[in-house]
Amino acid sequence: MEKRKTSNQGLIVQTTSNQSKRNFIFGSRAIIEAIQAGKEIDRLLVQKNLSNDLINELINLAKLHKVPLSRVPREKLRKITSKNHQGAICFIASIHFSSLDNVISQCFEGGKDPFLLVLDRITDVRNFGAIVRTAECAGVDGIVIPAKGSAQIGGDAMKTSAGALNLMPICRVENLIRSLKLLKDNGLFLIACTEKADDLIFETKLDQPCALIFGSEENGISEEAMQLANIKAKIPVRGKIGSLNVSVAAGIAMYEKVRQVGSSV
């Protein structure tokens, strides 16, 4: 079912199904107006091999405003809406994104050691929402995600996070590796949480400024990010399955940090 409502930014569609509720805008001019009006765009989809003055203007504007953009087949756009999308659809983010620089500086200015998570290409919405919920409970100061290759931050993520997305600073960055270097330059200890590690998370010193890095269940943490980590740490697994669900692993690691900080106060 599609419900339409108009705004001064163009046509916004709310799609409701048994599984999800998403807000999106279709049509090149409407999307251009939305970007110019400062709307937080989660993702922009543009039809492959389509080129005209309006599409080119939209693509250039998206690059200028660092909107995550993907070129996709026309069929994918048709699955989202049967209306005249003119080769472009964008999804509206449910939150306002935070600046990583601001999150770090606010921690230090407040006399607090920064405690951050870095989610490297975690695309499952439920895992993402569950991680955010646990992070908020564990006192995490912010979560860093790449602009491309991350879970869509819409209704499903908001629901799974139990509203924690309204409270947790989410820092969407263009270049994850550059952001990891920024964290290191600011004195944060980078811990790559991976089953490929030799050290245990329970034996890793976490009562210091630090960022825990988690990768997707399909591809894990990227090699570049792994090389930047100060240490690799794992959670012991004694069963026959070789790894934990990423949201479960993240919860265990976050609360090991809570345990260490609590015991050192």
Residues 11/23, Cβ–Cβ less than 8 Å: no
Q: Is the dihedral of CA 26, 28, 34, 38 positive or negative?
A: positive
Work out whether strand 10-16 and strand 2-7 pair parallel, antiparallel, or are unpaired. antiparallel
Gap between the Cα atoms of 188 and 53, Å rounded: 45
Task: Choose among 73, 21, 66: nearest CA to 45.
Answer: 73
Gap between the Cα atoms of 92 and 10, Å rounded: 12
Per-residue pLDDT of the chain (265 residues; tens, 9 = 90+): 344 443 333 454 444 333 334 588 999 999 999 999 888 888 899 999 999 999 999 999 999 988 989 999 999 999 998 888 999 999 988 888 999 999 999 999 999 999 999 999 999 999 999 999 999 999 999 999 998 889 988 888 889 999 999 999 999 999 999 999 999 999 999 999 999 899 999 999 999 999 999 998 888 999 999 999 999 999 999 888 878 999 999 999 999 999 999 855 4
Gap between the Cα atoms of 200 and 210, Å rounded: 16
- The predicted pLDDT at position 249 comes to 96
List, edge to edge, every strand of the sheet that includes 170-173: 170-173, 142-146, 115-120, 210-215, 189-193, 231-234, 199-200
Among all chains, which residue has been given the structure tokens 């983010």?
93
For residue 46, give both structure tokens.
Answer: 């543009």
SS3 171: strand
Task: Choose among 20, 13, 6: nearest CA to 156.
Answer: 20
- The predicted pLDDT at position 55 comes to 94
For residue 228, give both structure tokens.
Answer: 């930047």
Task: Choose among 113, 156, 161, 111: nearest CA to 137.
Answer: 161
pTM as predicted: 0.81
- What domains are there in the chain, each with its CATH number? 2-92 (3.30.1330.30), 100-264 (3.40.1280.10)
